[in-house]
Amino acid sequence: MNNKKVLQGFLIGLLATIIGVFLSSIFLGKLSGRSDSILEVLEAAQFEGFLGKLISLGAILNLICFFYFIRKKQDSRAAGVLTATIIIAVSTFLIKL
């Protein structure tokens, strides 16, 4: 495997998760009926104990990236996205403890 491509996939996986968390925060802010900003939703998530769930929702975009790289036969990048997903899953588990 090419380490540079694995690193690129890892960074893409992290970026996809960050974008997914922001999109989930925006959606939850609109769904609550108030005009909560992203930071207010993230603070409320941490305070109320559902930050791990919010991060898990954000990681769904990694599925799209992973299957895109598999379809394009870029297995090294797909491995990087998978590594990022595993690290995010472990981090989410540690947050819930």
Model confidence pLDDT, tens digit, residues 39-77: 888 888 888 888 888 888 888 999 999 999 999 999 999
pLDDT attached to residue 11: 95
pLDDT attached to residue 34: 66
Alpha-carbon span 34 to 86, nearest angstrom: 34
pLDDT digits (tens, 9 = 90+) for 81-96: 999 999 999 988 887 7
Q: Which whole-number Å values give the CA distances from 84 to 19, 20, 62, 74, in the listed order?
A: 14, 14, 9, 16
pLDDT attached to residue 88: 92
Identify the band that residue 31 occupies on the pLDDT scale cut at 50, 70 and 90. Answer: confident
Task: Tell me the domain boundaries of the chain.
Answer: 3-20+50-96
SS3 letters for 21-41? HHHHHHHHHHHCCCCCCHHHH
